[in-house]
Amino acid sequence: MSRCCCLILMILLGMVAGFSGCNRAAQVLGDEAVFNELDALYTAVTARRMDLVNACETRLKGLKESGKLSDAGFTQLEGILKYAHDSEWQQAAERLHYFIRSQRKPSPA
């Protein structure tokens, strides 16, 4: 019985540790233009305006190419954009909201 309880506890602890690490949002870097674009994307998604989503996507690609948006951040945003392209607006909005709230803006110098 004691072994069984220990095994279950270890499995549960492993799951908690795994989930806490997997759900972290990538940081986008500290450029204000990126944060402004994330706000614009959130507005586009919540308005369910694909034309605005596409415009944001184009600008985000430009920010990535110029080095202002991290590769990891862009990859996560691509997943969010896919939800929008598939008209899964609620899912896109929820994930984008979490992503934005998870960003750590740099302290002003």
Confidence of residue 1 (pLDDT cuts 50, 70, 90): low
pLDDT of residue 109: 59
Give 37-48 pLDDT, tens digit per residue.
999 999 999 999
User: What CA–CA distance (Å, rounded) separates 17 from 85?
Assistant: 32
Do 25 and 98 contact (CB within 8 A), yes or no?
Answer: yes
User: What CA–CA distance (Å, rounded) separates 68 from 79?
Assistant: 19
User: What CA–CA distance (Å, rounded) separates 64 from 49?
Assistant: 22
Confidence of residue 28 (pLDDT cuts 50, 70, 90): confident
User: What CA–CA distance (Å, rounded) separates 75 from 8?
Assistant: 35
pLDDT of residue 30: 74
Is 6 a residue whose pLDDT tops 70?
no
